Structure 1
């Protein structure tokens, strides 16, 4: 006898969690440029005693590079829905991410406040502190949101903080495009282009947050 029962249909593809690996890979590649630059800077510390920074300044530089590198690398994997759906992974990663991001942001602020570089690079230091302070604030707000279990708000604040942290890669791309187009890369133009990198990442972050909100509304 031939069965007339309908075959069992597989679950819809959209019901499965997306891996998000294309986004993760892109973020890791974007983070690679500033991380490699930071590693080179760490290698240069102490190689020339005549120009070596003080022990306190060297400690702040190391804290900034290590904190930001860890935040950018580990934070990229939080954009994978499949990994984010694993609550144990997400919590453990967050316990490392938030302190690392705070250390990196605080060190960035300290480097700008106690700026000791050439006078013509002071404006560049000010631009960086203008964005390092919001990053620190976003991380504090993200922590407060997760304490009160406001998960959507927590994700939004963490996304904004990550967008600022990974700006080094965007800035490098903007500078490369500017050079290819024939633009001069002096201190003044570099300052403006660094600011452009921050703005680009912030706009992308807001777009991601709004898309998540619309998706949550549709699911609701």
Structure 2
């Protein structure tokens, strides 16, 4: 599972890395984005934290790794929590204070606000749950947070399908972005319910993330 999850974000991770090269003074390898070059700090924070969160978060979701290396899981969980909040809050900052992305409309703006806030809330609720020793709810909320963070990976496909089928208008783009997040949340809920119908996880720690 970790390999599949990391593979899902490979394309946006590569694009983000190329953007970082550009912002560091390197060659222009992607279409110019004046919004980011005018205020690079938020996007640098977002890209770096998102790539690290995608990799570490995938490992945290591996049940076998949690069982074999519980100490590592707890230590990495603290890092994942900070990275996840950095991803969510930087995304919200860019949504609110960057100029709107060309080719998108009000619906995309609302989606970004809703799902960015949802990710931050999920991480907060997941942390609160593990502090209470409620492993099942902790795992559920952290799974939802990770699913929302991987929206960019799924959107690579939903945008491609949406544009091929319905054109490249703003409404199509907005809805395709929403579909990416919705698909990830649906898969997350399936995983959560399947886990719940299996067995109730044993409390192993008061602090950490899954």
TM-score category (smaller protein): 0.7 to 0.9
Q: Is the 8 A contact 1:27 1:76 kept in 2?
A: yes
CA distance in 2, matches of 1:99, 1:73: 14
Moved more, 195-204 or 30-39: 30-39
CA distance in 2, matches of 1:60, 1:179: 28
What does 1:26-175 align with in structure 2 at a 5 Å threshold? Answer: 26-45=4-23, 46=25, 51=34, 53-54=37-38, 57-85=39-67, 86-117=69-100, 121-123=104-106, 124-175=108-159
1:95-136 deviation digits (Å, cap 9, x = unpaired): 110100001100000001113245653532332121000100
The 1:83–1:119 alpha-carbon spacing in structure 2 relative to 1, beyond 3 Å, is closer
CA distance in 2, matches of 1:25, 1:118: 31
Q: Is the 8 A contact 2:42 2:93 kept in 1?
A: yes
Q: CA deviation at 1:29?
A: 0.6
Q: Is the 8 A contact 1:102 1:139 kept in 2?
A: yes
Structure 1: 4+ residue segments shifted above 6 A? none
Q: CA deviation at 1:187?
A: 2.6
Structure 1: runs of 5 or more not aligned: 1-22
For 2:206, the equivalent position in structure 1 comes to: none
CA distance in 2, matches of 1:118, 1:190: 11
The 1:44–1:186 alpha-carbon spacing in structure 2 relative to 1, beyond 3 Å, is farther
* Residue 202 of structure 1, aligned match among 170, 175, 185: 185
Structure with higher Rg: it is: 1
Please, what is the CA RMSD of the aligned residues?
2.4
Structure 2: runs of 5 or more not aligned: 203-210
The 1:107–1:215 alpha-carbon spacing in structure 2 relative to 1, beyond 3 Å, is same
CA distance in 2, matches of 1:66, 1:122: 27
CA distance in 1, matches of 2:54, 2:77: 12
1:121-154 deviation digits (Å, cap 9, x = unpaired): 3532332121000100000111111111111111
For 2:205, the equivalent position in structure 1 comes to: none
Q: Is the 8 A contact 2:105 2:171 kept in 1?
A: no
Aligned residues: 194
Q: Is the 8 A contact 1:146 1:154 kept in 2?
A: yes
